[in-house]
Structure 1
Amino acid sequence: MARLFKPRIFKAQAGKRPSSESTPSDLTIEDLSHDGRGVARHEGKTVFVAGALPGEKVQVAHYRRQKRFSECESRNISQLSADRVEPLCPHYEACGGCQLQHLSPEKQLYFKQQNLLSLLKRQQEVDVGKVLEPIFSSPYGYRSRVRLGVDAQQRLAFREQHSDKLVPIGECSVLQPSLAAVLPQLQAWLDSLPPKSGVSHIELVAGYELSGEVVTGVIIRHVKPLSDAFKQDVSAVTTPQGVFKCWFQSEKNGALQGLTGAIVDPRMYFELGEDSSLQKPIRLGFHPQDFTQVNAQVNPLMVRQALTWLELSSSDRVVDLFCGIGNFTLPMALSASKVIGIEGVESMVVRGQENGAQNDLQNSTFLALDLNSQALGALMRREKVNKLLLDPPRAGAKFVCEQMAESEVERLVYVSCNPASFARDAAILVGVGYKLTELRVLDMFPQTAHMETMALFVRV
């Protein structure tokens, strides 16, 4: 008789106890869902099994039954997948940050790509041209920013799987080493505070000074006043290299404050250089709470791929939609005649303008615009835009894609963080006269079910 394997990972959703009903045993897992759960079939119903991998035979316990599907925990695994690996993180069983540490990095990439292709081909019936090899980074130690909660016992914590419950953590294997190194010191500082101190969250951000010196930035969110002594104590945290900088935030979404309580507007930096195949390095400044790509290994490769696909020349006029601080806008300005970065968030426009001036790129312009308005189409016609980069949030860019029917855009690069909205928008673009000629998956978030997608659309 095969030895039963008890997986270390995955609890049922909060408030969903396993059913006392009889449950099917020895289900065979056939596939992996988009969120990293095993997929099996039983009595004509789809069964999602947390913690199981394709090819495994599992015994399960139900915690939610629906008309067309069931959701289960894997209790015992009698036949293990050859792709199963031991999770590196001791908190993986409960922490909701990662979903795929029990699957080899190579297979993580494979299943992410297969799920994307399935969405495009089966659900949206979009023909995919050339599929390039995925872009990936080190499977651990890649993440350059993180937001941690602080629980009632004043312990650093992440959210539990499928829950708002906080799980105390002592380490995090996906953080960049400079960030991971300060976790014990931050916990020691929290331990020194009086009970119910009011510290609710701590954000960590990796970056550089304008001089090039490494910076580990920390933002302390507190809902009660902190004494000057406690502020001085946390500011004394040391890092293995570079400098440690600490800011305080006493109101939700409020301005950052320095040690004295004065409002500050700090900047950190990162650089796009040789990895991006640029004519010269581009240095980008950002506020510690701005959106920036979390994977510093993948980001420059993503920028390089966009530039390669756009085939920019000195006659091209380009628009970069949802441009942020200029991650794509400014590299494109090195080759194009004019690049317009457009954002709906005013603070990002300000940051883009700062970065354009810092890098002396006079042919870059940043504008604030409602990207769900007819004004976008009018601007593109007025500026005679012939190439476009689109990097929307998770909701995608349905309205923008619908407007492309009346544009003069010849080549369009779409960067997506949500396969579902990307597949929908890809179908729209194909419907208004474009062909999806090249596709590439980027593993921006190893060990998680999240992925980035890049695609080139060419007008036919």
Structure 2
Amino acid sequence: MSDVLNIESLDLEARGIARRDGKVVFVEGALPGERVTAVTLRRKPSYETARVDEVLRPSSQRVVPRCPHFGVCGGCAMQHLEPSTQVAIKQRSLEDTFWHVGKLRPARVLAPLQGPTWGYRYRARLSVRVVPKKGGVLVGFHERKSSFVADMRECHVLPRHVSDLLLPLREMIGSMSAPDRMPQIEVSLGDGVTALVLRHLLPLTDGDIAILRAFAARHNVQWWLQAKGPDTVHALEPEHNDALSYTMPEFGLRMPYRPTDFTQVNHAINRAMVSRALKLLEVQPTDRVADLFCGLGNFTLPLATQGREAVGVEGSKALTDRAYDAASRHGLGDRTSFATLNLFEVDAHWLRSLGYFDRMLIDPPREGAHAVSQALAELAHEERPRRIVYVSCNPATLARDAAILVHEGGYLLKSAGVINMFPHTGHVESIAVFETLDAAGVLEVKERARQRAIQAAADAVAAEEAKLAAAAEKAAAKQAATDAYLARVAAEAEAQQ
């Protein structure tokens, strides 16, 4: 049975949010301002999920999805929403998260960073499944909220020539010796190069290799093979080992990488993001700058073109070694250095050991930079970077870390804004700028944080004491009831004698 609902807003899974009898209802396929009929999919004590049955009053921002697989394929969530409105929703989500998680509002909201909305995805992991009921081999993304592979014949967020490979890849995999033991193909595009990484669980036959080479020649791609973990990845043709790269013309850089390395999905937005980050950081020629979670040096090398020294820190030595090689090839070896360290376990002592940094760039994974933020908050005014630019792929951890920097460390949240790295998805990439207060202001914030910590500890002790007192009172009452019962039983027994 369908219910009529008025949609108030949208969550980051692109589900409309309605309320019915005081309960939140998440409605797949509905947009803010719409009146819809919806069929309930699941009921929980505090919320329900539903799916649109009919749109009675459509939103002015509703558009016809470009991809025929939208709604089934899990690659996109917002194709039915006008692209600029997608960005506005992400910006609102970022601001709301800053407030709800960190009790913060940026002093200035940056204009969204936007780029191409179609054909932007230069990295993708395509699943491969043999499904006889659907005609054989499927190659594509997973279906929405499912482990099944979508029956995809085209994909509009992939570059056109990669989308055109979906059906030929099906045919190719189906002709190989063990198609059911080839679970995925990773796509990685560089400047003028399309690399495909075939994951195979059984050794390839000579016939398989011949098929791959013929496909590569026909479609102008390079094959890489992965038999086990990431360390086993290698080019089918040795001359392709160093062919994959992306460029950052503004800084005169060519960044080589391997197809399974982490690089940004959207090369156009990455170039714009690096440019904006460096402008916001305001690096001076005499500055020593840190780049934490540096990876292959995506920010480190551009920073080295502007400052006195750029120090990149990353958890993988293989990545920092290759970042330094790239710096050396560009003549930046004397202006860069790299350290390998688990940045999820650092402290203020470690930060001090690296020496003073005028400015710092932080670009963590979704887990954020909690330990780094706590360490920065502990530094005295004269020990700390004056300005920090934080690039985030998770608004919740950014807001958490921002709260530490501001409420415990004495930094100001000067500005923040979204980066639309993944159009048509709910993914929110963002950038934030922090600037330290003066020495007196830092001391004042630290003292307030200390007093809050003391009060919180006292409140915790009081709460524990109250809990113990309540437990003791309950035990005493129970014992009293038991004693009274035993006394009554004894009295009744005595009366019967």
Scaled to the shorter chain, the TM-score interval is 0.7 to 0.9
Contact 1:151 1:157 in 2 (8 A): no
Residue 356 (structure 1) aligns with = 327
Matched, 1:458 2:435: yes
Instruction: Return the alpha-carbon distance in structure 1 between the equivalents of residues 77 and 324 of structure 2.
Output: 38
Deviations along 1:56-85, one digit per CA (max 9) or x if unpaired, are: 111112222122111111111111111111
CA shift for structure 1 position 194: 4.9
Residue of structure 2 aligned with 1:145, choices 92, 115, 123: 123
Instruction: Return the alpha-carbon distance in structure 2 between the equivalents of residues 104 and 229 of structure 1.
Output: 48
Q: Secondary structure at the match of 2:130?
A: coil
Deviations along 1:178-216, one digit per CA (max 9) or x if unpaired, are: 4223333322212323564521111111113xxxxx111
Q: Report the TM-score, using the length of structure 1 for normalisation.
A: 0.88
Tell me how large the CA RMSD over aligned residues is. Answer: 2.1
Deviations along 1:155-189, one digit per CA (max 9) or x if unpaired, are: 20311111212212111110123422333332221
Residue 193 (structure 2) aligns with = 215
Instruction: Return the alpha-carbon distance in structure 1 between the equivalents of residues 279 and 182 of structure 2.
Output: 46
Equivalent residues in 2 for 1:36-47 (5 A)? 36-47=14-25
CA shift for structure 1 position 351: 1.9
Contact 1:256 1:265 in 2 (8 A): no
Residue 298 (structure 1) aligns with = 269
Residue of structure 1 aligned with 2:257, choices 272, 278, 286: 286
Instruction: Return the alpha-carbon distance in structure 2 between the equivalents of residues 381 and 223 of structure 1.
Output: 45
Instruction: Return the alpha-carbon distance in structure 2 between the equivalents of residues 392 and 219 of structure 1.
Output: 26
Instruction: Return the alpha-carbon distance in structure 2 between the equivalents of residues 172 and 239 of structure 1.
Output: 23
For the pair shown, which has the larger CA radius of gyration, 1 or 2?
A: 2
Equivalent residues in 2 for 1:407-422 (5 A)? 407-422=383-398
Contact 1:343 1:368 in 2 (8 A): yes
Cα separation, partners in 2 of 1:58 and 1:202, compared to 1, 3 Å: same
CA shift for structure 1 position 252: 3.7
Instruction: Return the alpha-carbon distance in structure 1 between the equivalents of residues 249 and 260 of structure 2.
Output: 23
Q: Secondary structure at the match of 2:295?
A: coil
Q: Secondary structure at the match of 1:226?
A: coil
* Residue segments in structure 2 that go unaligned for 5+ positions in a row: 132-136, 438-497
Cα separation, partners in 2 of 1:343 and 1:326, compared to 1, 3 Å: same
CA shift for structure 1 position 377: 4.2
Task: Provide the aligned length of Structure 1 versus Structure 2.
Answer: 426
CA shift for structure 1 position 384: 1.1
Instruction: Return the alpha-carbon distance in structure 2 between the equivalents of residues 309 and 319 of structure 1.
Output: 15
Instruction: Return the alpha-carbon distance in structure 2 between the equivalents of residues 240 and 101 of structure 1.
Output: 32
Residue 167 (structure 1) aligns with = 150
Equivalent residues in 2 for 1:18-167 (5 A)? 25-153=3-131, 154-167=137-150
Instruction: Return the alpha-carbon distance in structure 1 between the equivalents of residues 32 and 172 of structure 2.
Output: 44
Instruction: Return the alpha-carbon distance in structure 2 between the equivalents of residues 374 and 144 of structure 1.
Output: 33
Deviations along 1:215-254, one digit per CA (max 9) or x if unpaired, are: 110111111222222222222335899x421011122434
Letter in structure 1 aligned against 2:400: R
Matched, 1:426 2:402: yes
Equivalent residues in 2 for 1:180-191 (5 A)? 180-191=163-174
- Runs of 4 or more, structure 1, over 6 Å off, are none
Instruction: Return the alpha-carbon distance in structure 2 between the equivalents of residues 433 and 376 of structure 1.
Output: 15
Letter in structure 2 aligned against 1:305: R
Equivalent residues in 2 for 1:263-278 (5 A)? 266=242, 268-274=244-250, 278=251
Matched, 1:179 2:151: no
Instruction: Return the alpha-carbon distance in structure 1 between the equivalents of residues 124 and 148 of structure 2.
Output: 18
Equivalent residues in 2 for 1:188-267 (5 A)? 188-194=171-177, 196-208=179-191, 214-237=192-215, 243-259=220-236, 266=242
Instruction: Return the alpha-carbon distance in structure 2 between the equivalents of residues 433 and 191 of structure 1.
Output: 60
Aligned-residue identity in percent? 36
Between structures 1 and 2, the one with greater helix share: 2
Cα separation, partners in 2 of 1:315 and 1:380, compared to 1, 3 Å: farther
Instruction: Return the alpha-carbon distance in structure 1 between the equivalents of residues 354 and 315 of structure 2.
Output: 20
